[in-house]
Every structure is written in structure tokens, then in C-alpha cells.
Amino acid sequence: MGPGKVRLSDVAAVAGVSLSTASKALNGSTRISGATRERVREAALRLDFRPDALAQSFASGRSRTVGVLTHRALSTFAQPVLIGAVLLLGERDQATLVYDGDVGVSRRLGHSVRELQARRIDGLLVIGDGHERVTASLTHHFGVPVSYAFTASDDPDDVVFLPDNELVGRMAAEHLVERGRRRIAHLTGPGTSIAVRLRESGFREVLAGAGLEPVGPVLRSGWGRDWGTQAMDRLLDSGTRVDAVFCGNDHIALGALEACTRRGVAVPDDIALIGVDNWEGVVVDQNTRQITTLDLQLEELGRRAAASLVDERPEPGQHRLAPTLVVGPST
């Protein structure tokens, strides 16, 4: 259906202007008389002109495609980052070329980098797998903007987006302190984890500001529900008086909740629990919404990182995204 493909030259002819003028009228913010612009626009509208994106890209050198490099086997946490990036890029009419592979392994990487260069991507987003690893900077391989999401880069001049894990700790502490809790313990993941250390540091900072410190020893080990149960039992067995626990993630918080329930400790009346991740089902979709959590806003992280490539280019350095407090109704 239709009179064949409409080209810009057809629009120009109908509008009674040259090809180059038509082009500028439609795209360029160049000096063009308002009247001419209107005439060209009308003609384009009337003819239902749609510029051939392939030709535009070829002529302009802009591919309207952003490359994305992800770390092999996208984790639960990295997935929303990629989703956010892909959706934002779509909103900007940018396609996404995703290569998955171990960003630390140069073999696969070499192929991906070459392909992305050949594609003349307009920008590159490197998505890592959390705060734990540092990605070797790839920025110098590309003549286009490169940003890093959910991983640090080893070049301080890179544009990096990370969840603000220190703020996570501060917000957890503030939430509990504001609600009158004073004897706050901390059960968390392995002490080798950067996220664990940052969260703990923010947590201690706010406590100190309120003239407090963590009650009992900070227990650091795993990220699983089992560990949460075990740690909570240990804490309560020790006889430490506790009125709140900051759990390093929601799995730990659920494990702690289980221990409390088993021992007849009321949550949150006797002990308030706060976790991290907004793990689906922890807060939503349960009567037993006894846990408050902090959402790392990972999809938004992906959106911001992608936007940094196609919208205004931000300052070099680490950009930290604030988490969101998701309050269990009874807390």
C-alpha cells in the first residue's frame, strides 16, 4: 500500500527547495527561514516522509546504536541494570548491541570490542556484577563516550554509576533511630565484601552521631537465609538486649525473622528488622510484612548510566545512586 518509498528529494521537490535545504529544515538547528522550514515540514507530512535511518547513519556516521558489555551470566542484580539501560535507550531511539562475556577475559572481549568499533557505536556501557569487582577500563579503546554501571573501573577519570552502599547503611540506621530504636545489632554478609564494609561504615556513622554504637558484635559471614537464622540465634543466645537489627540483605532478614518467630519474639514490636534489596515478596504480597527494606534502585541505575551516554555527559568519577526506603506497614 502506497506510492512507493518517499525520499527526501521528493519532499524537497514538493516544497520547492533543494535537497540540502530540505535536510537542514528537517534536522538542522542551522539558520533556516521559518517560512522555508514550515513549507518543508508540510511537504514531509503530506508525503508521509520517513527518513531512511540506514542512510542517515551512513551519511552522518552516527549509528544510533549503543554498545553494552555485560559480565558473563547476568546475575539477578545485574539484570535490572541491563533492563533499565535498554529501556531508556529505546526511549531515545537508540538501539542496543549487547555482548555478554567475562569483561575480565580479553579473548572474548577482543572480539566484542572490534565488533562494537566496526558498528561505530555512539557510546558504550559496561555493566558489571556489583560493588565487589573492579573492571579494567576500556575507555581508551573507543572514541565515543563510555560509562560503567554496577562496577568500579580502575581509571578514576571514568564515568561510573554505583549504588550508594554507604548511604544504605546510613538510611537503615536513621530509619531505626528515628523510630526510637536504641539497641541496634548488625548481621551481614562476608567481611571481605566491599558492599558489606560500606554499609557497615555508613551505619556506624549515623549511630555514632546519635551517641550509639552497634549492640553486640557485628556478625559477618554469608548472604543466605540460613546465615540469617543462625546469626540471629547466636545474637539472642548471647543474651544481648536488642530492639532492632540491620540485616545486610533481605535473605538474612528473612532468616532472622524465622528465628524470632520460632522464639516467640515479636517483629517488629520487640525487634525491628531492616534488610536490603527489596527482594520480591519480602515486603509486597504478604500479610507478614514485618520487614522494612532498602531498594538499591538498580533499574534506575541502568537508566542513569545509559542516559549519561546519550543525554548530557556527566562529570568523570563515581556517581552514587541513593536507595529507596520500602517500609513494611507495621514497622
Residues engaged in binding DNA (CB under 7 A): 5-9, 17-21, 23-24, 26-28, 30-33, 35-36, 49, 51-52, 55-56, 58-60
- Side chain identity at 24, as an amino acid letter? K
Q: What would the x/- binding string for a second copy be over residues 112 to 151, using CB under 8 A?
A: --xx-xxxx-------------------------------
Residue 305's binding partner, choosing from DNA, a second copy, none, with beta-carbon cut-off 5 to 8 A by kind?
none
CA 115 from chain centre, in angstroms, equals: 25
Cα 296 to Cα 114: distance, rounded to the nearest angstrom: 33
Contact between 259 and a second copy by CB under 8 A: the answer reads no
Confirm or reject binding of residue 58 to a second copy (CB under 8 A): yes
Residue 79 site contact among DNA, a second copy, none (CB < 5 to 8 Å, cut-off depends on kind): a second copy
Q: SS3 for 153?
A: strand
Is the Cβ–Cβ distance between 188 and 217 less than 8 Å? no
Nearest to residue 25, comparing CAs of 221, 34, 16? 34
- Positive or negative, the CA dihedral 225, 230, 234, 237 is positive
3-state SS assignment for residue 274: strand
Instruction: For residue 69, list its beta bridge partners.
Output: 99, 126
Among positions 87, 134, 210, 327, the unique one binding a second copy when judged by CB under 8 A: 87
Binding-site size, a second copy (CB under 8 A): 47
C-alpha 273/C-alpha 238 separation (Å) is 18
Radius of gyration for the chain, computed over Cα atoms and rounded to the nearest angstrom: 26
Which option in DNA, a second copy, none does residue 226 bind, with CB closer than 5 to 8 A by kind? a second copy
Which listed option, a second copy, DNA, none, makes contact with residue 82 (CB within 5 to 8 Å by class)?
a second copy
| Nearest CB to DNA, comparing residues 34 and 180 | 34
Give me the sign of the Cα torsion angle 242, 247, 250, 255. negative
Nearest approach, Cβ of residue 56 and DNA (Å) = 4
Per CB under 8 A, 54 contacts a second copy: yes
Residues at the site binding a second copy, with contacts judged by CB under 8 A: 50-55, 57-58, 61, 63, 65, 74, 76, 79-80, 82-83, 86-87, 89-91, 93-100, 114-115, 117-120, 224-226, 251, 279-281, 285-288
